[in-house]
Amino acid sequence: MITYKDLIKYFGSFLVDKDFQLFLAEAFVDFSGYNILGSNYITSESLGIELDFANSDAVYDDDDQIIFEKGNPIFSHFNLYPKSETVISGFPFDISFKDTRKTVFAKAGLPTKTNQGHTSFLNKDFLVDNYKVNDIIISFDYNLKNDVINFIQVRDNNLRGDIKL
């Protein structure tokens, strides 16, 4: 098993870095390939993990599905879902996916920032608590019906200006 801190060590690594590729091959068995036309993520649905990459060098046409320049993807953040508890241990603040928001507050304190509202794109309400620990942002997205965590996002605050806290 690995910890979320094992993943954080690779923030800023290029997807093609040999050490990063070796780590991915040893730690995970079924990651999807990287395809900027699909998303900036490589995912393991069976393990409940998504790795996201910043790729400002890529040049592509979404509409025509053409890649002109592949760019150089840089590992910037990851999302953990309940299934990830089978391969990830030592979650931030010793949080469990069974924890309620109240329990998260007891373990992590009050969040640095909370985002709450309604997204018309997904047609649902959302509640996300964000914690800043040095340059790392840890976000907890809650299921509002049963008050437990939907997913945990951990990101390097310096690598993605579009989601910077």
Whether 99 and 66 have beta carbons less than 8 Å apart is answered as no
Please state the rounded mean pLDDT for residues 113-136. Answer: 89
pLDDT given at position 94: 93
Could you tell me where in the chain the CATH 3.30.1450 domains are found? 92-158
pLDDT at 161: 57
pTM score: 0.87
Look at residue 13 in the predicted model and tell me its pLDDT.
94
> Distance between CA 137 and CA 153 in Å, rounded?
8
Res 12 pLDDT > 90: yes
Instruction: Band the pLDDT of 131: cuts 50, 70, 90.
Output: very high
pLDDT digits (tens, 9 = 90+) for 23-75: 888 888 788 887 776 678 889 888 899 999 988 777 776 777 777 777 889 99
CATH class entry, domain 92-158: alpha beta
The pLDDT value recorded for residue 40 is 81
Question: Under a CB-based contact definition with an 8 Å cutoff, are residues 100 and 14 in contact?
Answer: no
Mean of the pLDDT values across residues 71-90? Answer: 90
What are the helix (H) ranges across 30-143? Answer: 101-108
Pairing state of beta strands 49-54 and 74-80? Answer: antiparallel
User: Residue 163: what pLDDT?
Assistant: 61
The CB density around residue 113, as the number of other CB atoms within 10 Å, is: 12
